[in-house]
Amino acid sequence: MREAAGTRRLAVAPDGTLLCAWKGDAGFGDSSSVNITMHSPTPIDLGARTAGVTPAMEPSRLISDAVLGDGLVVAAADAPEPHIPPTFDKRDIDDAEREVLTTRSGIGFTGVVNTGWTPPDPHMAVGPDHIVAMTNGEISFFTKDGTRTFQDEIEDSFGFWGSVGATGFVFDPEVIYDTTSGRFFAMAAEAFAPGSRSYCLVAVSDDSDPNGTWYKYRFDTTGTSGDLFDSPNIGVTDNALVITGDGFGLGARYPVYIYDKAPLLVGSPPTITNVFELSTSTQSAGYPRVTTGTGDTVYLVEHREASNNNTAVRVLAFSDILGSPTVDSFNLTVPSYGAPEDPPQLGTSSRPNTFDARFWSVDQGPDGHIWATHHVNPSRVVARWYEIAPNGWPNSGNNPTLVQSGDIDLGPDIRTFFSSINASDDGSVAICYSRSSPSEFLSMGSAFRAPCDPAGLFSQDFIHKSANAGYTAGRWGDYSAVEFDATDPSVYWGHHEWAEGGSWRTWIQSVETHDPCLAADLNGDGAVNTVDVLEFLNAWNAQDCVGDWNRDGAVNTLDVLAFLNDWSSCRT
């Protein structure tokens, strides 16, 4: 090859990598695109199931100028609704300084600042001492005081999965902390790879500290997903890794990938791989991130796609997942719901796209009950949640039942959407969500319910971070994350999007649910005063669970003394 006259089509990097600029059909759906091909002097392992270990991770530059010129947009080929892959524009990259704030509810800090990808799809996992946050374009590690200890891209040969051959379109990341193995599991989809291939990228930390070795894998999903494996979900059981997603590259499909977990914990390829397609007319069923003590039965929850008056959700069970997997389904009657409204916001007529009523988040509590959330309703979108008792189904002869449900309804004009849910070991439940109204900007909020709260109610809600102007990008979310602390069930952490000056960023916030100053504000007016004493005495006199202030299971004079002690130290 030689340079064409009057142009600069070849470049050689210091390591001998040859970069070739050319135009034509690169297989991405645009026959007139400008493309860059990289020829490496050393082989890149593209094996679908080969672990690539990075023993000492160093943050690399945010975006490679050698590959992406100023203003170049890398966008996905057209994909069918309901979900659209993210887009990238280098001009959107934001270098804002990070914040760390101590608030009344806990500590909060900047997670990820605009990486150029829209939307961010924020996700998070909380370990004993560290938090791993992911968005489109970034993975970062933090200590719980907000100190960032690691940052890297998730895409391309120089990014987090570069050692196993990742290319430039990596998106929809998720990360979980597996309490049974004490490891972090990170995952993202890779689409439109050379040869019209798609992959699922997986990484497993070697212990509970993410600042060390990760075992990395690139699983080929082309056979069931074509060139677009989209909107994936990841979960683990005691013995298996389970990944699902939308196989849009071959039409509307829902493939399921199951791998035995033990080899992944030591950097070896899985010895068991089960792949099948779920028979469904909908997409993106939600399921618990970590399932323990259930004999490797996995429960999923799926919405109905009709625009209005849906009165059931579909509960699915995968059994014998490492042997000969079977699938059972049950239509569970729930309060009516419809496709979600795109929410209004202050400062602009632009409305974020909420897509559909898919289950963005599902969790399984220590009692085996399933907690699920999605956003619903065409007139005013709200985050809906459910508690479902599986009752040993499908092996017990009993069907699942709806224990309770409710909406995060904060007022006649307020919308809540893109929600996530998590249950603690003591039976508490937290939800993280976005909120907006015609008179308020998009913001991040969370809500909490104690085990003794009345059915259908989240008794405490918080606003953690608000945008300072209308947001016009048209995409928001699409995900969020909330998780109780791995070492303290009285603390939960949320991760969601907010915006500053029209540029997105994410916020990580802790909430101390047993903070006496928060709890003693019984009427929720932001002040601890004599009105709260009257509220407490009314609950105590009625033998309400709020009157059991010391949580010993009895409402008696000891609770009065405990409440007055907290009240006196917190009153304002």
Q: What is the model's pLDDT at position 145?
A: 96
Asked whether 458 and 468 are in contact (CB, 8 A), the reply is no
> DSSP secondary structure string, 259-298?
EESGGGGGTPPPS-EEEEE---SS---B--SB--SSTT-E
Quickly state the pLDDT bin for 252 (edges 50, 70, 90): confident
Sign of dihedral through CA atoms 136, 140, 144, 147? negative
Which secondary structure element, helix H or strand E, spans residue 316, and what is its range? strand 310-319
Quickly state the pLDDT bin for 518 (edges 50, 70, 90): low
Q: What is the model's pLDDT at position 558?
A: 86
pTM across the whole model: 0.80
Quickly state the pLDDT bin for 47 (edges 50, 70, 90): very low
267, amino acid identity: G
Q: What is the model's pLDDT at position 253?
A: 87
- Mean pLDDT, residues 253-258 taken together: 93
Q: What is the model's pLDDT at position 516?
A: 63
Q: Inter-axis angle of helices 530-541 and 557-570, to 10 degrees?
A: 160
Q: Is the pLDDT of residue 543 over 90?
A: no
Cα torsion at 383, 389, 392, 395 (round to 10°)? -60
* Residue 502 in tokens: 């029209």
Q: 378 burial class (0-12, 13-18, 19+ CB within 10 angstroms)?
A: middle
**Tokens 């990075």 correspond to what residue?**
54
> DSSP secondary structure string, 202-247?
EEEESSS-SSS-EEEEEEE-HHHHTT-EEEEEEEE-SSEEEEEEEE
Between 124-133, 215-224, 337-346, 448-457, the lowest mean confidence (pLDDT) is in 448-457
Of 167, 160, 163, residue with least CA distance to 186: 160
Q: What is the model's pLDDT at position 127?
A: 97
Residues 6+ apart with CB under 8 A from 550: 558, 559, 562
Quickly state the pLDDT bin for 46 (edges 50, 70, 90): very low
Q: What is the model's pLDDT at position 383?
A: 98
Q: Is the pLDDT of residue 15 over 60?
A: no
Of 116, 121, 73, residue with least CA distance to 95: 116
- Mean pLDDT, residues 270-283 taken together: 82
- The per-residue b/e assignment along 170-191, b for 16 or more CB within 10 angstroms, e otherwise, is bbbbbbbbbeebbbbbbbbbbb
Of 104, 70, 67, residue with least CA distance to 518: 104
Strand order, beta sheet including 326-337? 298-302, 310-319, 326-337
Rounded CA-CA distance 541/555 in Å is 9
The single-letter DSSP state of residue 358 is -
Q: What is the model's pLDDT at position 84?
A: 78
pLDDT tens track for 299-326: 999 998 777 889 999 999 999 999 999 9
Quickly state the pLDDT bin for 217 (edges 50, 70, 90): very high
Mean model confidence pLDDT for the chain: 85
Asked whether 203 and 162 are in contact (CB, 8 A), the reply is no
Cis peptide before 119 (omega within 30 of 0): yes
Of 396, 402, 472, 409, residue with least CA distance to 435: 409
Q: Is the pLDDT of residue 157 over 80?
A: yes
Domains of the chain: 10-39 (no CATH), 52-514 (2.130.10.10), 530-570 (no CATH)
Q: Is the pLDDT of residue 54 over 60?
A: no
Q: What is the model's pLDDT at position 470?
A: 96
- Mean pLDDT, residues 431-454 taken together: 94
Cα distances (angstroms) measured from residue 569 to each of 24, 211, 460, 518, 528: 71, 40, 21, 12, 10
Q: What is the model's pLDDT at position 515?
A: 62
Which secondary structure element, helix H or strand E, spans residue 518, and what is its range? helix 516-519
Of 264, 217, 200, 255, residue with least CA distance to 237: 264
